[in-house]
Chain A
């Protein structure tokens, strides 16, 4: 995981629920690439095709509220998003994102100072976020040790893979 990332922002408002991130009509899909094509289809089906590669999703309060569907972070990752910075997150979405290795950063005021396409420099260790075009600097919340541990491993799957290898070899 990169500690520092510079990428263009794509800005959303408050209460972006998981139905807007990934509508119910696509929940039967299981192929991650297919899922990525429908990211934010609940807002506009054209967002996913024109989302800047490696871009950072910026949002207001309560991002990811509603359903526990893991399709939401799977869709974000496969659309090409590398991070979400929001004023606040809903709990299950936050867990799902960390588990899949998608960094999620809480930063008060962020959705008011960033415009679509502006370059954001985010440091995950310090929580400092800089808008390159305007030199506005905001202090985001640092990720907890537990979340950093999972993110540094690339998500919970590689960590669990180690654990199962030990578990099953010990029982043999």
Chain B
């Protein structure tokens, strides 16, 4: 059996569920973000009175942090009132950050668990050896009442990544390269297991980037067997005991895709689909108006450091914006402590407080018609970050920083590291 199957078997009390079988799994933690007030409405519409376990449910206010409109402030107020009335043990208000960063930092994500959240990017938590998947508001409301969710046991595909890419190529480039081949619907309903020598040496943040983008191939969940760095991260934080699951040595994947990432160039997804990917050498040096480094894909310390290395001691041209948003308060403090935010601010970046930011045009940093944005976030769909007539390029934080510095799409490997060299 695969580790993912073992997690679901344990959570559903079934011995060895078959692919395609529908099982009822017990949920270890359920998270609701601030787009999903409907969860509370559905909870009441379904006759819910009390949540099944007040220590296993939390709200995270990240998409509207801090509230930009009266309506969103009202949504927050209704959620806060529900959290208080239900005596929820954990609560993450507008000071906390993006749910997929805040939950692991708070020790609520650990190997072998089932994590369900009202967010498609819940696949991120495969980076911790957990089963994570996204649901909508009404599925979430059934969990709040029963503590359970029906799931179909997914096919599991292997994406094996071997080799080490050169400096200047980041985990985001690697996953964009994978998406070019797998395509945006290549893993619908499936679980993706990332393996190979590249993955084995990858740090926590890099693993989160790969698993985060798995949903952009349609995947139900993603998984990476934890390495020592992941286990150390969890050991210092986990709020509950946990049991890591391992894939049996004789397990046979439904499919295996093998990639060699040695020598891989930075990659970009061109407007307006996530799998419209090209190596930077083949991308015209288009003008950019705005860069964004942040969100659940590109707002970690490693990402902000990559931008800092390129921009420290320099200044982005007048009229071009760079928005930098640390994914959580912990990351923001680390980046302040290290001086990254000070230097980026001096370089002309707009620094904003933790949250999802411009990724989904819910509030700050929206795009005007005709504008071009290069972003370290996860989606370049039409209208995703504002006007439908804006163009969005997905790239690594290093490529975003190099591009805003030059005002056009730029290979970060061509930028002299200046004072840091």
Contacts and interface: CB of A to CB of B under 8 A. Distances in A.
B384 A24 contact: yes
Contacts of B150: 146
A95 B45 contact: no
B38 A68 contact: no
Contacts of A96: 135-136, 138-139
Q: Which of B48, B150, B381 has the most CB of A within 10 A?
A: B381
A161 interface: yes
Contact of A30 (B38, B47, B145, B362): B38
A170 interface: no
Given A61-B185, A95-B135, A67 B142 contact: no
Interface stretch (B69-77, B174-182, B258-266): B69-77
A28 B145 contact: no
Contact of A164 (B38, B48, B360): B48
Contacts of A23: 361, 383
A74 interface: yes
A77 B218 CA distance: 24
B342 interface: no
B81 interface: no
Interface in B250-299: 273
A110 to B, nearest CB: 16
Given A24-B360, A91-B189, A160-B142, A68 B136 contact: yes
Contacts of A24: 360-362, 383-384
Chain A interface size range:
35 or more
B136 A168 contact: no
Given A27-B35, A68-B135, A70-B137, A15 B118 contact: no
B53 to A, nearest CB: 14
B136 A20 contact: no
A161 B134 contact: no
Contact of B388 (A42, A68, A161): A42
A65 B71 contact: no
Interface string B145-161: 11000100000000000
A99 interface: yes
Interface string B51-72: 0000000000001100001011
A28 B69 CA distance: 9
A30 B141 CA distance: 16
B246 interface: no
B218 A157 contact: no
Contact of B218 (A27, A91, A161): A91
Contacts of B388: 42-43
A112 B194 CA distance: 36
A168 B46 CA distance: 12
A15 B218 CA distance: 11
A92 B188 contact: no
Interface string A39-69: 0001100000000000000000110011111
Given A25-B366, A91-B218, A164-B48, 9 more contacts: A20-B383, A43-B382, A88-B185, A88-B188, A99-B138, A157-B42, A160-B46, A161-B46, A164-B46
Interface of A: 15, 17, 19-20, 23-25, 27-30, 42-43, 61-62, 65-71, 73-74, 88-92, 95-96, 99-100, 146, 155-157, 160-161, 163-165, 167-168
Interface of B: 22, 35-38, 41-42, 45-49, 63-64, 69, 71-72, 75, 118-120, 134-139, 141-142, 145-146, 150, 184-185, 188-189, 218, 220, 273, 360-362, 366, 379, 381-384, 388
